[in-house]
Amino acid sequence: MSAQRRFPRSIDALHELFAFTAETLADESGDGALSRTVDFVLEELFTNIVKYGRGATPVLVEMAAIEGGVQVTLTDFDAEPFDVTRAPPVDVTLPAESRQPGGLGLHLIRKLVDSIEYRHSPRDRCSRITFRKTRAITPAGTRPETGETNAGD
């Protein structure tokens, strides 16, 4: 399995993005946990590009099968550098009155994926974010019920 598609830089493109995930991971076995997680991570990364990016070029999303899961790459053309893997940690132990909506997405991504890499090329102002998600259950720190690993821990 391998697929790629370009999406306009608009929140309204989310439904197209989710349709792409469903179509590409259509053969996924199980309860849909892989698709839900890929959607979650894609939505967060894509909406960050829409909200904070200044370019006009559509965002390229590529998916490729890896053993037990999928590798996804988002390419943002004409982007300022912003390393999503180095976003500040969120204190999730604070009480409700001290919590602020927002900021959780990048924190959660690091919990949900197996790995995530960020690269920015100053020469062509191109940012690439690649994450991998498998249904693997074996590594320490996994949650047996879902197979979700804690990449950021």
Partner 1 sequence: MLAIDFGADGCVVVSGRLDAAQAAAAQAFLDRVEGAVTLDCSTLEYLSSAGLGVLLKTQKRLLASAGRLRLTGVSRHLQDIFAYSGFDQIFEIEPAR
Applying CB under 8 A, which residues contact partner 1? 11-12, 14-15, 18, 33, 36, 39-40, 43-44, 47, 91-97, 99, 101-102, 104-105, 107-108, 111-112, 143, 145-146, 148
Whose Cβ is closer to partner 1: residue 102's or residue 122's? 102
Nearest residue to 17 via CA among 74, 66, 78: 74
Helix (H) or strand (E) holding 73: strand 69-76
In whole angstroms, the minimum distance from the beta carbon of 29 to partner 1 comes to 16
In whole angstroms, the minimum distance from the beta carbon of 109 to partner 1 comes to 9
Whose Cβ is closer to partner 1: residue 28's or residue 148's? 148
Whose Cβ is closer to partner 1: residue 73's or residue 146's? 146
15: amino acid identity, one letter: H
Tokens of 68: 């037990």
Tokens of 45: 């990364």
Whose Cβ is closer to partner 1: residue 125's or residue 150's? 150
- Between the two ends of the chain, the Cα-to-Cα distance in Å is 30
Residue 67: what are its φ and ψ, rounded to 5°? -60, 115
